[in-house]
Copies of this chain bind each other. A is one copy, B any other.
Amino acid sequence: MNTNFLKACRGEKTSHTPIWIMRQAGRYLPDYHKVRSKMTFLELCKTPERAAEVTLQPVDILGVDAAILFSDILVVLEAMGMKLEFQEKRGPVLPEPIKDRADVERLVVPDPEEKLGYVMETIRILRKELADKVPLIGFCGAPFTLATYMVEGGSSKAFFNTKKMMYSAPELYAEMMNKVTDCTIAYLKAQAAAGAQALQIFDSWAGALAPCDFGEFALPYVKRIIAELKGAGIPLIYFANNGSTLLDQSMTCGADVLGLDWRLKLSDAAKIVGPDISLQGNLDPCALLLPEDKLEKRIARILEEGKSARGHIFNLGHGILPETPPEKAKFVVETVHRLSGQS
């Protein structure tokens, strides 16, 4: 097996810098569209054979060093009893958002094998089909990020309603967050039991929080998840998007790896997090628009900056954009391998 990804997570020596790409199984790939055109996004998530198929596409096409389960962070909310839709233009919509105590009390903490069995089935298929070629990453949304969708009913700019609940009904907010956290712990344990070889927690909206609010209303729940998952014995990655100013706090979450968007140099991040945490990132997804010679220079710089970290997993700083030419994604993977490989 290509174990470079797992080794870099643990800070061990690698034969080249491993790379995977957030949303690598996705809309920029014509092969993905072929599968997706036959069903809705949510149906694809719930059809293990097809979800496994699109998960494998970037492994074959790009040559990345890890596969990441094709799914969505929000499926867990459906399992908790919320209605969930994906609308073609608007993205995720939860038509009955959480407004009050009755809504929070109605949320269930499900048995993941029962309500999210399709995810675990996808993982089991993938472990067979990958045949130990590259490791498989499972994932979930961080409780704060999930809470924003639960309370706003979809994407948001200012997260007004979520922060309103946080500030004016902190006990209710905590109750909701504890349910989400309990659910997430069980969900990730089930993913690990089904065969996930690493787990990433996506905190897509953490960057909307002032440092004091992050420390009070988001980080404690991430810490609890990670503490509960330590026993699984697999690397844990925490990605707080747009979280440069939160790094001094997020480094205490217990994760083996911290993901970084492109706003902070890896070398500056390494100075903050020190020698016990690996870093993952952090090429601006828009940089894949650069001509190859300039793109290569930028990759080289990130590889150089990444040397300051205990371990470095190359990635984009955010999900790959649908407009990206697949051959540019392939060029990035090849260039990372070529520039970082021992010759």
Contacts and interface: CB of A to CB of B under 8 A. Distances in A.
A163 B288 CA distance: 10
Interface residues on A, range: 35 or more
A154 interface: no
Interface in A196-248: 207, 210-213, 242, 244-246
Interface in A303-328: 317-318, 321, 323
A258 to B, nearest CB: 15
B244 A286 contact: no
Given A160-B286, A167-B287, A245-B244, A263 B211 contact: yes
Given A210-B284, A263-B207, A289 B244 contact: no
A286 B158 contact: yes
A204 B295 CA distance: 26
A164 B318 CA distance: 17
Number of copies: 2
A79 to B, nearest CB: 28
A244 B294 CA distance: 26
A158 B245 contact: no
A164 B328 CA distance: 14
A159 interface: yes
Interface of A: 158-160, 163-164, 167-168, 207, 210-213, 242, 244-246, 262-265, 268, 284-287, 289-291, 294, 298, 301, 317-318, 321, 323
